[in-house]
Amino acid sequence: MNTPTNLKYTKSDEWFDAASGAVGITDFAQSQLSDIVFVELLVEEGEEVTVGKAIASVESVKASAEIYAPASGKVSAVNKGLSDKPETLNSDPFGEGWMIKIEGGTAGDNTMDSTAYEADCAGRAH
């Protein structure tokens, strides 16, 4: 499982990069979902989001899932290309698979570092 140390993570499997404001789903999440076939981004550029707000919906061959904001702030960018290439979430969840960017975003109290997130995932895998 890939968990970059510069990111913050949530128990619901979202990641947040405070440096760029980027948000996406984790490697663990995409592996649990399997082949992602549909992505719907639920927020627009310029919109304010708060921690816990649904920002996207994804569907895979196995399940569907809501994706929630791990940080609060103003949406500065939306990765509209994901609608045409949802499989990017499987192949590059921490790179081209970012979903939105939050300008000046503040991570919620519910976020954890990579070590704590890996331990959380290990507990759920059993």
Q: Walk me through the domains of the chain, giving residue ranges and CATH numbers.
A: 8-105 (2.40.50.100)
Under the phi-then-psi rule, with left for phi > 0, alpha for psi from -120 to 50, and beta for the rest, what region is 26?
beta
Q: Is the pLDDT of residue 96 over 90?
A: yes
Mean pLDDT of 95-122: 93
Query: How far apart are the C-alpha atoms of 19 and 63, rounded to whole Å?
Result: 31
Which residue bears the tokens 């708060």?
Answer: 50
Q: Is the pLDDT of residue 5 over 90?
A: yes
Q: Cα angle vertex 55, ends 53, 58, to 5°?
A: 125
Q: Is the pLDDT of residue 45 over 90?
A: yes
49-79 burial code (b ≥16 CB/10 A, e <16): bebeeebbebebeeeebebbbbbbbebbebb
Q: Which of 41-50, 58-67, 99-108 has the lowest mean pLDDT?
A: 99-108
Q: Is the pLDDT of residue 6 over 90?
A: yes
pLDDT in tens, 62-81: 899 999 999 999 999 999 99
Question: What integer pLDDT is reported at residue 37 of this predicted model?
Answer: 96
Output the pTM of the full model. 0.94
Question: What integer pLDDT is reported at residue 126 of this predicted model?
Answer: 60
